[in-house]
Chain A
Amino acid sequence: MSLILEPLLYLASGGFYWWWTQNLTVFGLAPNLLFAAALSAAILAGPVKGIAWCFMLGLYADMLGSGVFGGWALVYSLMGYVVYVIKRHFDMASPFSQLVAALALSWGCLLFYQGLSLVFASINPAGLKIFLVEPFLNALAVPVVFQVFYWLKRRSGIL
């Protein structure tokens, strides 16, 4: 069952993120729901599946974007591993720890991706506005997305 539901959830996450960025942006800003989904999946799933989810969502972000291909996949995969390490020491199920983790990891991911883009393509993808605001939007989005994923996990056993 999860073989069907997980790809569906993956596509739904990507589709919902696309719809949000097309219709609900405020001053060109929107929470990065792919990031929120990747973080939530990394927290809820086991290490291999969590990293795989992060990788696949990163690949989706690479497909949507026009930057270096594989950049987000690498960044999110590493984020999945970091979350696996962190959750062995902290309770990542609480909204506050998710919020703090989302804030820190958002900035980490943006900086790392910025570095990758500069190294591999000499382009500067993230604007200052995104760098300053998006982590806070992500921090707010992650607990919500986590609850949705958690509910789906309990209902259907996915992740």
Chain B
Amino acid sequence: MSREKDAANYAIVFFVALSVIFLISPASKIAHTARIAVSYSLYPSLHYGARYSYFVRNVPANFVALLETDQENRGLKEKVRALEMKLQESAAMTSENERLAREMRLSRMLPWAGSWARIVNKTPADWYGSFYIDKGSEHGITVNDTVLGMQDDRAGLAGRVFEVYPKFSKVLLLTNSAASAVCSIAPSGMQALVEGKGTWLLKVNYVPEDAEMAEGAEITTAPGGLLFPPGVYVGKVRKVYPRESFMNFITADVAPAVNVNTLEEVFVLRRNLPRELAGPQEPAK
């Protein structure tokens, strides 16, 4: 037992002395470089601290330059990633800016007064039925105001304001199966009812069978309809269906002027409609 104790005492004295020598004597360049190389390879993040200069003392300058280059490279990679993110953001903003500028230019050419609103909510269950805009009664929006969308450098009918709240409003789209508008079909100017189908297409109904309605004919709102101002582009005839044997009128599919899927901002026209059409004056709560 005593021999074991002696051995233990000798061992601890030996190893403590060795450790202290390591602690107090500066390691040779080669030893220190080897140590830095090992620790840097296994834990590079350890060398990013403010006390870095302490760790690389007594190490050849070219090795330090190698480490610094690596750290610089890592830092630059981080910067590149951040810049790529910013580039993507700025590309999106530039695209939005261009779109808004184009829409503003178009809206200035419109014969109607109104204001721009941003679409803030679309419900997947009612995609072609309605959406919400970020303007409400506080911004002068009233029920049944006409809502236009801009597409291909042209204003087209999107729908009308259906519900008004102080800070936002609900827009009933023309593609909603409950929506309709009295329209005139070019070139004859014949009037017919355009209705929503709940899909991306519209339907033109009650067209006399002898009427001239060709595919590609432009449809605009008619002066006879009170809800919408006349002359607003509604869409183009896409497909004309032949008369059914039991009906005395024909129908057609209409491609709407405004694609709801790509719409982000809308132009709400101030109509100054008669009180009976403008809906309740008190905004909905």
Q: Which residues of A come within 8 Å of B, CB atoms?
A: 18, 21, 46-48, 51-52, 54-55, 58, 62-66, 68-71, 73-74, 77-78, 80-81, 84, 116, 120-121, 123
Contacts A74-B20, A123-B51 hold; do A65 and B15 have CB atoms under 8 A apart? no
Given contacts A47-B4, A63-B35, contact A69 B22 (CB under 8 A): yes
Structural contact, A70 and B4, CB atoms closer than 8 A: no
Interface residue from A62, A68, A73, A116 paired with B15 (Cβ < 8 Å): A73
Known: A70-B22, A74-B16, A74-B20. A47 touches B27 (CB 8 A): no
B39 contacts A63, C-beta separation under 8 Å: yes
19 examples of A-B residue contacts, CB within 8 angstroms: A18-B42, A46-B7, A48-B7, A48-B8, A63-B38, A65-B43, A66-B39, A66-B55, A69-B22, A69-B23, A73-B15, A77-B12, A77-B16, A78-B16, A80-B12, A81-B8, A81-B11, A84-B8, A120-B24
Q: How far apart are A104's CB and chain B's nearest CB, in angstroms?
A: 19
**Closest CB-CB distance, A51 to chain B, in whole Å?**
4
The reply to whether A52 and B18 contact each other, CB–CB distance below 8 Å, is no
Known A-B contacts A69-B22, A123-B54; A55 and B15 likewise in contact (beta carbons under 8 Å): yes
> Shortest distance in angstroms between A63's beta carbon and chain B's nearest beta carbon?
5
List the 9 closest pairs (A to B, CB-CB), nearest first: A70-B22, A47-B8, A74-B19, A77-B15, A70-B23, A81-B12, A48-B11, A55-B15, A73-B19
Assess the B35–A69 pair: CB atoms within 8 A.
yes
Given A47-B4, A51-B11, A51-B15, decide whether A70 and B20 contact each other with a Cβ distance below 8 A: yes
Within 8 Å CB of A48, what residues of B? 7-8, 10-11
Q: Which residue of B lies closest to A68 (CB)?
A: B23
Judge whether B21 is part of the interface by a CB distance below 8 angstroms.
Answer: yes
What residues on B are CB-neighbors of A52 within 8 Å? 11, 15
Contacts of A51 in B (CB 8 A): 8, 11-12, 15
Contacts of A77 in B (CB 8 A): 12, 15-16, 19
Residues of A within 8 A of B18 (CB): 55, 70, 73
- For B32, list chain A residues within 8 Å (CB): 69
Q: Give the complex CA separation of A87 and B11 in angstroms.
A: 17
Besides the contacts A18-B42, A58-B19, what 8 more A-B pairs have beta carbons closer than 8 Å? A46-B7, A48-B11, A64-B43, A66-B43, A73-B22, A74-B20, A80-B12, A121-B54
Chain B residues with CB under 8 A of A71:
19, 23
Asked if residues A69 and B27 are in contact (CB atoms below 8 Å), the reply is: yes
Do B46 and A66 touch across chains, with their CB atoms under 8 A apart? yes
Query: Whose C-beta in chain B lies nearest to the C-beta of A15?
Result: B42
- Kindly provide the distance from the CB of A67 to the nearest chain B CB, expressed in whole angstroms: 8
User: Are B23 and A66 in contact (CB-based, < 8 A)?
Assistant: no
Contact: A65 with B21, CB < 8 Å? no
Separation in Å of the A30 CB from the closest CB of chain B? 12
Q: How far is the CB of B193 from chain A (nearest CB, A)?
A: 66
Determine whether B197 belongs to the interface, using a CB cutoff of 8 Å to chain A: no
**What's the Cα separation between A93 and B200 when bound, in Å?**
77
Interface string of B64-93 (1 = CB under 8 A from A): 000000000000000000000000000000
Complex Cα–Cα for A92 and B49 (A): 39
